[in-house]
Structure 1
Amino acid sequence: METVFKFIPLRDRRDEDNFNKSLQTSNAPYILPEKYRVKYEVEEYEGFTDTFVIYPENNSSDLFIFYLHGGGYWSQPLSFHFKFFKNVSKELNANFILPVYPKAPSYHAIDVHKMIMERYLYLIHDKGVSAENIILMGESAGGGLALSFLQVLRDQGLPLPKQAILISPWLDVTNTNPAMIDIQPYDPLLNIESLGYGGIIYAGDLDPKDPLVSPIYGDLERLPPITLFSGTHDILHADILKYSKIATEKRWDVTLYTYEKMNHCFVGFPIPEGKEALGIISNIIRGNK
């Protein structure tokens, strides 16, 4: 039987009922659903109630994937995410670390960066994991967060991960790139205005163009190698393409894989293009690029 993937558009966060529901859920601590724990072999990492791990099958790997999940900075990881996480961990025989950072509208960018910094430094300082054995990954909002986080690590003189892989990253929460308007009719998942509203709330007291919120406005030099995956039917492709062009001009170590007519975060979809992209990610991390 043919597998049919159902696209579910992001809820409009400007709607009062949706906003109030998000306010309530974001104020409560995240509880890992038991079905994810069992089906995808997820467990709390080192006693943290907000950080989770999927261990490799042989339980003896030096490779760590530090993954920042998407959801527009408002949503918790879904079943879709955990299935993808398990596939990545299995494909790479890696320890998969997932910090479930605090969410808007109750929390903001400063809160999020504080949490992921604490978990990253726990790996480095408390567990003695070499930064050379850490791959930073993120999708959507998590991809933008990853690029912001790299700038913070560099600016503070902290160990940088070996490389970063960003899937459909959200690089500018203002959503003001005019090229997005041309893509919008083809994007079944994201809406420019609704997503942008969520980004402004996430920024909190920061300017939405602060690099902690919108990394494309920051200093993007002297970062580890970065690989981007993007589909042309994703409004975020406009800024991903903009970043890639800047990187090419500046001769930064940034590689973009563009997939025609693919949607936001297609890499995690059960489709040939998603499987191909995962294979490329695997080869990059294994050094077979």
Structure 2
Amino acid sequence: MKQVVYDGSFAGLLTAIFEVYEYKLKDVTLCREGDFSPALFEKHHVVYTNEQKAKRVMAKLNSKMSTAALSQFYRCFLAELSEMDNCLLRYAKYTVSSKNSVENNYRNPDVLLVQQISRKVYREKHRMEAFVRFKLTGDGLYYSVIQPDYNVLPLILKHFRERYADQRWLIYDVRRKYGIHYDGSSLEEVSIDFGSSSQASIVEERSSVLDEKEELCQQLWQQYFSSVNIPERKNMKLHIRHMPKRYWRYLTEKMA
């Protein structure tokens, strides 16, 4: 079994798929650079991301897949699951080799897995759009910390750019150590070096940088949340199902 090592980007994945065909590689397994551990006498192929190769693969998939299927393909890549890259390679090869559309052939295990995982990522995207809570800093920047199960930050940018088009904001994923900053006109990916300190604790607890009215706004939001609750109709199981506890640490209404 030959390992095909790529840089972990989506363009890198598409380049890897291209080179599997280009070099007629057989019995391969895809591997991201961060997960690659070379073994003695084990063969491997290193992929250098090539935008032209990536575009050719995307064009081919676009000719064989619907827009919905392409979105599912991309969401599965963002799931960052250990076996997902190889599933996507098999799915792409199955799609290219078939005369007819295969995206609804759930008898194929890879097609079925893509459908299942893409739904989970899509559900996480919607939760992030609902659960992001911004805090205002003294210099007018709204920032929010998230820690989603999947890498959904690229999927929620359109929502927040349209909703907060006239504001400066930063959404930072502490699990993946990168964020997206919007300056009022353009988006930029950012990475923050926190040294040996906990990223979550530094980003969350630096109250000294908050706007002087931010604490009052948080208190008002907590009071509003408390006032609309009806104790007699409390259903904690249903509440947790719609708002899992893993999100609570970042929700203003749960910090009261």
Verify same fold: TM over 0.5: no
For CA contacts below 8 A with separation 6 or more, give which structure has more relative contact order: 1
The structure that has the greater radius of gyration is 2
TM-score bucket (shorter structure): under 0.3
TM-score normalized by structure 1?
0.23
TM-score normalized by structure 2?
0.25
